Amino acid sequence: MRLDVRKTYKLFIGGKFPRSESGRTYELNDHQGKFLANVAQASRKDARDAVVAARAAQSGWASASAYNRGQILYRIAEMLEARREQFVAEIRAMTGVSSSKANAEVDAAIDSWVWHAGWSDKIDSVAGSMNPVAGPYFNISTNQPTGVVAILAPQDSALVGLVNSIAPAIVSGNTVVVVASEGLPLSAITLTEVLATSDLPGGVVNMLTGSAKEIGPWLASHQDVNAIDLEGAHSPVELEISAAETIKRVIRANSFSRGDSRGSLQHILALMEVKTVWHPKGH
């Protein structure tokens, strides 16, 4: 008889797996109330470190070719597929859903990565424009990532909602600081293990587990965060007011559906900036 080796669920910041600098954890029980794990409870300082890591990674990730970003997102789908049993087990442990339901969620999550991967090199073809200005000028509008995005992930989704929050942000070159669902965090941490083995540069996705209520306000007011997704926010109105201080882009809760095997281009574009470039034409 052998005792299994349990996993320590840690944060994911800058491509590394630190414990919370606060040393805090919270106890997660399964759907029947039985102890599952001690999950790291991120602090505002962890959030601060995560923003620094996200900012450091942003220009590199944005300047990777769209083809490269697409391949990495597709690689994430491959890695997720390879570890589907683990995700199914964790989802079932946390929520108690049937195997077929848990499998369906993992299917949707994998397919969503694939769907998003394909967008990376098509966004500008569809949403950019060459503008026929009334003068001798070349004039083009492209879409560029907004920068660092804070995501308060949906509280009621273990995996697919999380994927449908992260993928539309990073496909275009944003980097993200995610606060995972407080009640369903295990698949979020396992997802970071997938990300860490998918050639995704460190710092592109930073995962915090803990309380969105506690961390959300620090991210909403952080001056180096360019956008915030309030899907899983505890008090969205206050956060929106706080985000207004630096004119952050805000995705209000329920703006986009996040339960499917595909996302929405408008969601991707909500985290992008249109840049218009002019140049004279003449010899």
Residue numbers at the binding site for other proteins (CB under 8 A): 59, 63, 126-127, 129, 131-137, 139, 141, 144, 146-147, 223, 226, 236-237, 240-241, 243-247, 249, 266, 273-283
- What tokens were used for 276? 């218009």
Cβ-based nearer residue to other proteins, 104 or 253? 253
Nearer to other proteins, 44 or 249 (CB): 249
Q: Which is nearer to other proteins, 8 or 266 (CB)?
A: 266
| 254: region left, alpha or beta (phi > 0 left; psi from -120 to 50 alpha) | left
Q: How many angstroms separate the CA atoms of 198 and 79, rounded?
A: 7
Residue 136 CB, nearest approach to other proteins (Å): 5
Bridge-based pairing state of the strands 25-29 and 272-280: unpaired
Task: State in angstroms the smallest separation of the CB of 51 from other proteins.
Answer: 15
Least distance in angstroms from the C-beta of 226 to other proteins: 7
DSSP β-ladder status, 148-152 and 227-229: parallel
Which CB, 51 or 208, lies closer to other proteins? 51
Query: CB-wise, 127 or 196, nearer to other proteins?
Result: 127
Residue 82 or residue 278: which is nearer to other proteins going by CB?
278
Backbone angles phi, psi at 139, to 5 degrees: -145, 120
What minimum distance in Å lies between the beta carbon of 224 and other proteins? 10
Complex with other proteins: residue 71 or 144, whichever CB lies closer:
144
- Give the side-chain half-sphere CA count within 13 A for 186: 22
Residue 109 CB, nearest distance to other proteins (Å)?
24
Q: How far is the CB of 54 from other proteins (least distance, A)?
A: 16
Cα 66 from Cα 63, distance rounded (Å): 8
Q: Which is nearer to other proteins, 85 or 260 (CB)?
A: 260
Instruction: State in angstroms the smallest separation of the CB of 160 from other proteins.
Output: 21
User: CA–CA separation, 77 vs 244, rounded Å?
Assistant: 35
User: Considering the complex, what minimum distance in angstroms separates the CB of residue 112 from other proteins?
Assistant: 19
